[in-house]
A and B are shown apart, each in its own frame.
Chain A
Amino acid sequence: MPSLKQLRLRIRSVSSTKQITKAMKMVAAAKLRRSQERATAARPYSQRMGRMMRSVATIMDGQQGSPPLLSGYGDDVRRIELVVLTADRGLCGSFNSGVVRAVRNRVVELQREGFAVTLTCVGRKGQDVLKRQFGAQIRKTHTGIAHRLTFHTVEREIAQELVQAFEDRQFEVCYLVYNTFKSAMSQVLTWQQIMPLPNDAAQKNQDGPRGSGSAAASAAHETAAASEGKKKGGGRHHAVQSGGSGQGWSQGGGGEAALLQSMNRQAAAVEEEESGSTSYFFEPDEGELLNALLPRNVAVQLFQALVESDASEHGARMTAMDNAVRNASEMIRKLRIKFNRTRQAAITTELMEIIGGAESLKG
């Protein structure tokens, strides 16, 4: 049985922890608002960039000598690069661990299938954990990017190096792994291929017959306007449920994956209508334009992923801290009951002693 003094100390310590978590929650909320605005503001650019990319790509598709960034290195894929976006700081629930766990499972899986996997870590937390198991495979680490998250810094510090490495053929395919921001409460783990440019035309054709028929398609047209703000780079994201099933987050991810897919389908429907078969004039000519656009598109997609991930981080931290505050309150409540009970027990014992003493004197 802890003494009264010990209990009082426990209560005080839990209270101050609660104060700290509460403060962290407020800070996260304030930061979240800003990051969320930025993520939302950045979406139009990356969406339109994606759309423009696809129109050019469709025209260039199948032509001789199209650059590897567009058409890849053929079927000869042996090396895969994963760009892992995590936070620099912890205390944000399963935000970092979710990404890391997914990456770890995937890397093991890919290696079993005979691929060589290299990693680029953006964010300190991911690197901290991954270097234990895959130290030798980490090609590059970028930290502190969140403090200077502008398009220019992202392009110069990360994207250019990645594109260079791709063109030097250090790897044949490159994926981004990050959390897409949905709301403060939920982040969707997303796998997105950025190099070479994912071939949507082929995917679209597969989607058609397999999808839920024309009824769904026409319904999609109606809701398309509403989802305009939500659609993410039109059909280029794949939320994948990976590796170990039965884990809380991956179950949630599955439902959200379906949602994302349906959103992507809607987006694809709109695009087909808008720019499906337009033939453009190019200025300068398409080859030159394409060569400038392709690396830029990588930077744009990366930037978008980073702002999404940044907003997700603050959302996750806010939620985690909110839970911590609630747990602390609950703990304080329990301790206080125990404290009161112990105090009352002490008083009762004392009273009994006094009464007993008085009785014996009377005797």
Chain B
Amino acid sequence: MAVSFQLDIVTPERLAFAEEVLFVTVPGQEGVFGVLPRHAPLLSAVKPGVVQVGDDSDAQFFVVSGGYAEVLPTRVTLLVDDVIARKDINKEEMEMVRGKASKQLAGMPPEDAEYLFLKNRVQFADACLALCRQGEAR
């Protein structure tokens, strides 16, 4: 039996990714962690960052915004607000998103209802841009 597990990346709007995979890294709130098959059950908050699916040679990259991860021995589910595959990232667009969000964010008190959402957006865009640069450097 091939040792793999089911990975689902789900947003409120759609099921973005559902495949059998061998390895995934998740940007947990308290640090990035990698998951191999038969991982112990874990529930973790997820912060905006890069999700790497598969090993280095044929890895796929996604950027997720905040959410939650449920890890079970045969199944990993990422419940996130937004997700984008590396190939779908549009650099100009992301810079615009980032600019707009950070402008709105400037001068906003942290207790504002929108604060966390906007901060999340900025971090999400940052992660996207960082991933782009990393891709170009190679």
Contact = CB atoms under 8 A, between A and B. Distances in A.
Contact of A281 (B14, B43, B114, B117): B43
Contacts, number: 77
B41 interface: yes
A283 B27 CA distance: 12
Contacts of A56: 43
A282 B45 CA distance: 9
Given A52-B43, A282-B44, A284-B30, A44 B15 contact: yes
A49 interface: yes
B79 A52 contact: yes
B44 A283 contact: yes
A48 interface: yes
A226 interface: no
A281 B113 CA distance: 30
Contacts of B44: 282-283
B15 to A, nearest CB: 5
A159 to B, nearest CB: 11
B70 interface: yes
Contacts of B117: 152, 156
A45 B43 contact: no
B41 A279 contact: yes
A281 B30 CA distance: 13
Interface string B13-51: 111000000000000111000000000111111000000
B72 A278 contact: yes
Interface in B33-80: 40-45, 68, 70, 72, 75, 77, 79
17 contacts: A38-B13, A41-B13, A41-B15, A42-B14, A48-B70, A52-B68, A52-B79, A151-B12, A152-B81, A152-B117, A156-B114, A278-B72, A282-B42, A283-B30, A283-B43, A286-B43, A293-B68
Interface of A: 38, 41-42, 44-46, 48-49, 51-52, 55-56, 150-152, 156, 160, 274-275, 278-284, 286, 289, 292-293, 300, 303
